[in-house]
Amino acid sequence: MLPNRALYGEDHNGLRDSLRRFIAEEIAPHFDAWEEAGIVDRSLWGKLGAAGFLCPSVGEEHGGLGADFRMHTVVAEELAYSGFMGPAADVSVHADVCLGYLLHHATPEQKQRWLPGMVDGSLVSAIAMSEPGTGSDLQGVRTRAVRDGDDWVINGAKTFISNGQHADIVIVVCRTGEGRGSGNMTLIVVEADRVGFRRGRNLDKLGQISADTSELFFDDVRVPVDNTLAAEGQAMGMLMSELPQERLIIAVTSIAAAQKAFDITRDYVRERKAFGQAVADFQNTRYRLAELKTELSVGWAFVDQCIGRHLEGRLTTFDASMAKLWCSEMQGRVVDVGVQMHGGYGFMREYEICRLYADARVQRIYGGTSEIMKELISRNL
C-alpha cells in the first residue's frame, strides 16, 4: 500500500478513497481493451472531469476546486499505484504539466476560454516540445511561427506528444526568431480544429501502451496572435519555470509505481515455493527486499520534502531534478528485481510485474533524461 504521510489531511484522503473507487469501476474493467487498442477511450476524460479528478487547483470561478497541489499528487499517486500507467500518464500531462502554463501565464480571457473545459474533461490538452532530431535540446526546435498581421502561421512537426490523438488544444513550442537564443522561442496555443493541423501515428511503444503518444504536423496553420502565452520570445523562461513541477510529478508517479512493484513482488515471493520453502525465506530474497524497502522509504521522504517546498514556492530546479533522477532510477531497480524474483513468470505479460517493468523504462527519459538531470544537478554542486 501507499504509505500514510503527514503531508496529507482529511480532504486529501477523501479524494484518495473516491479515486480508488473510480479506478476500480471505470478504469480496471476497460484497461486491457485500451492496452490492446493502444489508447484510452475518450469517454474516460468526461468521467474523470465529472468526478472532480481533473485539474483540482483551478479556481472555482473556472469550475475547479481551488485546491493546492497536494490534490494533484494524490491523483498522480493513486493512478500510478493502480498499475494503469497509460491513463496515469495522460492525466498527468493534462493536469500537472499543461495546466501550469495556463494557470501562471495565460490572460484572463485565455483562462476563461480553456480552463473550464480542462476541468470538466471536454477539452484535452497537450504540450508539443520534442521534434524529430531535437530531443532534450529545446533551443534546437525547428517548428516555426511567422507573424502575418494578427495571425501566426505555423509550420513544423512534433513527435512523442502525449495526448496527441485526443488533444483539443496543443501548447506548441515555436521558433519565432533567428538563431538559438532563448528570446527566439514562443509558446502558442493551437486548437486541433485549425486548418493545417494534422495528427500522425499513435506511436507503438515499449510500455505505457494505452498512453496516447503521437506525431503532430503543422502545415501553414493559422492561429490568432491572441493565442500566444505571455509574450513573443518568452517560451524558455516559461518552460524553465514549469519544468520543476513536471519533474516532481514524474518523481511522484515513479515512486508510486515502484511501491506497487515492490508490494506485488513481496506478496508473490511469500506465496511462491522453491526447494520446499517460500522464496521469501531465502536470505538473498529477504536482504534484497530490505534494500528496496529502504530505498523506497528514503525516496518517499525526499518526495514529500519536495512537495512541501513546491507548496511554499521554494522548489528549485535542482531539487526537482534530484527527485526525478532518484525516483525514476530507483523505479527501474525495483521493477528489475521484481521480474527476477518472479522467475520465468516475470517475463510473461499476463503477470502485472512484466507490464510494470515495461512501463517504467520511459520514466528515465521523458521530462528530461537522467543524464540531463545529472547535468542540471552538477551545476549546483
Residues designated as active site? 246
Distance CA 97, CA 134 (A): 20
Q: Is 140 helix (H, G, I), strand (E, B) or coil?
A: helix
The residue length of the chain stands at: 381
For 222, the enclosing helix (H) or strand (E) is: strand 213-224
Do residues 35 and 90 touch, judged by C-beta distance below 8 A? no
Distance CA 378, CA 56 (A): 34
Distance CA 164, CA 211 (A): 10
Q: Is 191 helix (H, G, I), strand (E, B) or coil?
A: strand
Q: Facing residues of 221 across strands?
A: 154
- Identify each DSSP E strand in 176-279 by its residue range: 185-191, 197-202, 213-224, 273-274, 277-278
For 217, the enclosing helix (H) or strand (E) is: strand 213-224
List CB contacts of 203: < 8 A, sequence separation 6 or more: 159, 160, 213, 214, 215
Amino acid 156 reads G
Distance CA 158, CA 217 (A): 6
Distance CA 156, CA 100 (A): 24
Residue with cell 521523458: 366
Distance CA 317, CA 196 (A): 36
Q: What are phi and psi of 236, to 5 degrees?
A: -65, -40
* C-alpha cell at position 196: 493545417
Amino acid 10 reads E
